[in-house]
Amino acid sequence: MSSLDLLRIRAIRTLALVGWLCLPVLLIWGTAMGSPNTGLALATAALGNVIPTWMALRRRHDAAARMNFAVLAALLPATYVYLLSGMTWQMDAHMYFFVALSMLAVLCDWRPLALASVLIALHHLVLSYLLPTWVFENDGTITRVLFHALAIVLQFAALTYLTTRMRHLIVAQDKARAEGERLVAEAETERSKAVAALAATTAAEERSAHERARRKTAEARLAEERRSALIALADDFEQSVAGVAIAIEGAAATLEGSAATLTQIAADAGRQANEVAAGAAQAAGATQDVADAVHRLTDSIGEIAESADAQATLTGAVRRNAEEGKNAVLDLAARAGDIGGLVGEIHEIATRTNLLALNATIEAARAGDAGRGFAVVAGEVKQLAGGTARASDKIVTLIDSVRQGVAATETNIVGAADAVLRVATAAGDIKGAVAGQRGVAAEIERTAHEAARGVDMIEQRIARVAAVANEADTLSRHVREAAGSLSDHARRLRRSTDGFVEQLRTGEREAA
């Protein structure tokens, strides 16, 4: 915050305080003078103080705050004039307009001065027109008002010049002080830098000497440490390389033994694979034979099925023929019954004819001679009737025998039909069983073919296994040879390492 701002803040606070101090002054003065306008003067003064005081409390010092105090500066002297209205002191109270304008100068701004001057001049002009006695106690003419207004204008001009110059001076002083402070800060900074640089130089020299001494000590210690490290390195190298060489030798020996074992295992595996391949080939042939046999069995079952079909067909025909024969025998039995009925009629006719012949004979005997010839005819008729009756009896006998034959034949035919029915049922069962066996045989044949293919595949894979076993045998021989070579190299490496380490230790002892 600049000096001008601080000055304005303090000025505004002071003006606000002076504004409120006017109230007790008004009260005391009005009471002392016996003014009847004291109450209204106090009220207007308090009303005019409200907004400026509020802005002062908010630490405002901007142009708006300053303009508020300009209004207050025009109002408070007017309350004094009003307080002393009609008294001799009324004219003297006008002097406080000039006091108020002068107090505004501490705000270092010409605009509050202008506003206060305009308000003072205007309200005097207006009141001199409306209430001339209120403005001046005696003879308040416009000329006097203008004369006073000119004084206000002159004071405004003088105060404006003063405040403008004062503001410029304060601003310039602020700038100069800020520049001086900046230069002092820069000088202080440079001095601090110089002191720091000097101290840094001294410290650097001390550090350099200390560093040289420390470097010599470190070099000696490093040389010693390097020798110790080389010896330790030689020991470690010897131990590690020798250990590695020994481990390689051991690993090579183990590897060689493993290769030999692997060779043996590969040979056994090859042999067993060959045997398995041979067994698989035999199994494949046997499986194929089984498949062929099953195929033939399937063909035989097919023929059996065809025969069962033919038998079923024939059985059906026989059954139909038996049924037709049964019907024919039954028809024959019925016809025989009919013939029996006819024979009975013939026998009755013969009986009646015999009675007629007997009656004719009696009548012929009554007729005497005349009826002798008729009696002969009657006798003949009687004989014919008797012959007819005997013939009919024979026919009845024959018909009975025929009926017995028909019944026997019917019984035989029914038995034959039952037998044929059982034969047909058995043929159907055979047909179903043969169909089931045919499906099972086909499944067996398919399974046998798949088994044959599986056995072929096993044979091929076993052959590949045998080939791989042979390759493993060859590879294990190579590994065995490589392991032997590796063992030789490890032995040579250990000898070389021993020589190198011995040379290293000898060199370090000579250097020490």
Q: Which of 4, 19, 42, 48 touches another protein by CB under 8 A?
A: 48
Is there binding between residue 341 and another protein (CB under 8 A)?
A: no
Per-residue tokens: 271: 């042999």
Contact 70, 116 (CB under 8 A): yes
Angstrom CA distances, 280 to 101, 267, 270, 380, 389, stand at 134, 19, 15, 110, 98
343-365 burial code (b ≥16 CB/10 A, e <16): beebbeebeebbeebeebbeebe
**From residue 391 to residue 420, what is the string marking binding to another protein with x (rule CB under 8 A)?**
------------------------------
86 vs 373, beta carbon nearer another protein: 86
Contacts by 226-230, CB closer than 8 A, 24 or more apart: 227/508, 227/511, 227/512, 230/504, 230/508
Is there binding between residue 134 and another protein (CB under 8 A)?
A: yes
83 vs 413, beta carbon nearer another protein: 83
Q: Which of 4, 15, 18, 75 touches another protein by CB under 8 A?
A: 75
Is there binding between residue 131 and another protein (CB under 8 A)?
A: yes
Kindly tell me the sign of the dihedral angle through the C-alpha atoms of 458, 459, 462, 464.
Answer: negative
265 CB-near residues (< 8 Å, 6+ apart): none
Rounded to whole angstroms, how far apart are CA atoms 27 and 150? 31
How near is the Cβ of 75 to another protein at its closest, in Å?
5
Contact 499, 241 (CB under 8 A): no
Is there binding between residue 63 and another protein (CB under 8 A)?
A: yes
Per-residue tokens: 182: 């900046």
How near is the Cβ of 168 to another protein at its closest, in Å?
12
Is there binding between residue 385 and another protein (CB under 8 A)?
A: no
Is there binding between residue 86 and another protein (CB under 8 A)?
A: yes
How near is the Cβ of 4 to another protein at its closest, in Å?
13
Is there binding between residue 144 and another protein (CB under 8 A)?
A: no
How near is the Cβ of 72 to another protein at its closest, in Å?
8
Rounded to whole angstroms, how far apart are CA atoms 53 and 21? 12
Q: Which of 19, 30, 52, 77 touches another protein by CB under 8 A?
A: 52
**From residue 27 to residue 46, what is the string marking binding to another protein with x (rule CB under 8 A)?**
---------xx--xx--x--
Q: Which residues bind another protein (CB under 8 A)?
A: 36-37, 40-41, 44, 47-48, 50-52, 55, 62-64, 67-68, 71-72, 74-75, 78-79, 82, 85-86, 111, 119, 123, 127, 129-134
